[in-house]
Amino acid sequence: MNIDSTILLRLKNANQSHLVSYWDQLDHEQRAILVRDITNIDLDHITQAFQGVKDQLIEKSIDKELDEHENEQTIDEIMEPIPEHLTGSVDKTSKEQLENYRREG
């Protein structure tokens, strides 16, 4: 099973060609699953959302009066960790709360 050229083009345009880097190592069923998953992903939406987040982070950086050349940073360079109070852990959550999450989710 070969990869359809339209899928390869979609991946290339979204800078996601690495998703098929190990294509030759997959069996037929794994390839079919990967193609199905890639087909179901709205790469344009994800790319736009990513760019929107990156633009917001850059805007915040500029608001902090950073030098003009720093506008060229990658998203990894300008992202900051999530504040501790916004994070959680299954290990630190009560059984009751986990059950509540399970029922809601």
Q: pLDDT tens digits, residue range 13-68?
A: 999 999 999 999 999 999 999 999 999 999 999 989 988 988 888 777 766 655 54
Within this chain, do residues 89 and 65 fall inside the same structural domain, yes or no?
A: yes
Within this chain, do residues 55 and 98 fall inside the same structural domain, yes or no?
A: yes
Within this chain, do residues 51 and 96 fall inside the same structural domain, yes or no?
A: yes
Within this chain, do residues 98 and 50 fall inside the same structural domain, yes or no?
A: yes
89 confidence band (pLDDT: 50, 70, 90): confident
Closest CA to 11 of 3, 104, 105, 52: 3
Look at the chain and report how many structural domains it folds into: 2
Q: Tell me, what's the pLDDT at 63?
A: 61
Query: Which residues span the domain enclosing 14?
Result: 5-41
Within this chain, do residues 58 and 30 fall inside the same structural domain, yes or no?
A: no
